[in-house]
Amino acid sequence: MSARSGIGYDSHRFADGRKLILGGVEITEAERGLSGHSDADALTHALIDALLGAAGLGDIGQHFPDTDERWRNADSLGLLAEVCTFLDEHGWSVVHVDATVICETPKLGPHRDEMRETLASAIGINRLEVNVKFTTNEGMGAIGRGEGIAALAVATVDR
Ligand code: MG
């Protein structure tokens, strides 16, 4: 048994004048997006950390530091694909990923299938091996007050 699991977490604050990108999908009905050095795709960032964690290869901040101009407004989907290539070079293949996005508004359910397709294509696995879930924080705390969006992820990799 050489399968391993990793966890990931990320959160970004809402900001006016930004597009909302989650799982590589633009949520066009959102009134604002998330602030960040890259495109601030919290879901994709949580997945990247889960994958790096599973492979024992560090975290997103080590590989794509937000002090580096190369990653300004970076397409996080491209970073995800790069990380999967990196894992492959270290002998790891991705078996499955699962994630939860915590967000009060907008409702993200209508975008679930497109996110699964988009993420699966960047990772290079079947979309059935990519699960994305949505929940709210029931009005509690910063996420509950609508100050931002958080995401949790789990990834399983195998030799
Ligand atoms: Mg992030």
Question: 91: CA distance to ligand 1 center in Å?
Answer: 26
Both tokens of 79, joined, read: 């970073």
* Domains of the chain, first to last: 4-158 (3.30.1330.50)
In this structure, are residues 151 and 4 in contact, taking their beta carbons and an 8 Å threshold? no
Question: 66: CA distance to ligand 1 center in Å?
Answer: 9
**Tell me: the pLDDT tens digits for 91-120?**
999 999 999 999 999 999 999 999 999 999
Helix crossing, 112-123 with 42-55: angle to 10°? 40
What pLDDT band is residue 1 in, cutting at 50, 70 and 90? low
3-state SS class at 92: coil
Mean pLDDT of 81-91: 97
Count Cβ atoms within 10 A of the Cβ of residue 36 and give its class: 0-12 exposed, 13-18 middle, 19 or more buried.
buried
Question: 129: CA distance to ligand 1 center in Å?
Answer: 23
Helix (H) or strand (E) holding 123: helix 112-123
**Tell me: the pLDDT tens digits for 22-75?**
999 999 999 999 999 889 999 999 999 999 999 999 999 999 988 888 878 889
**The predicted structure's pLDDT at residue 71:** 79
Both tokens of 60, joined, read: 């997103």
Q: Are strands 148-158 and 33-34 parallel, antiparallel or unpaired?
A: unpaired
Question: 34: CA distance to ligand 1 center in Å?
Answer: 10
In this structure, are residues 43 and 23 in contact, taking their beta carbons and an 8 Å threshold? yes
DSSP count for the chain of H helices, then E strands: 5, 7
Question: 101: CA distance to ligand 1 center in Å?
Answer: 13
Between the CA of residue 52 and those of 24, 31, 33, 68, 108, what are the distances in Å?
18, 32, 26, 19, 26
**The predicted structure's pLDDT at residue 72:** 82
Question: 71: CA distance to ligand 1 center in Å?
Answer: 12
Question: 58: CA distance to ligand 1 center in Å?
Answer: 15
Question: 40: CA distance to ligand 1 center in Å?
Answer: 5
Question: 81: CA distance to ligand 1 center in Å?
Answer: 16
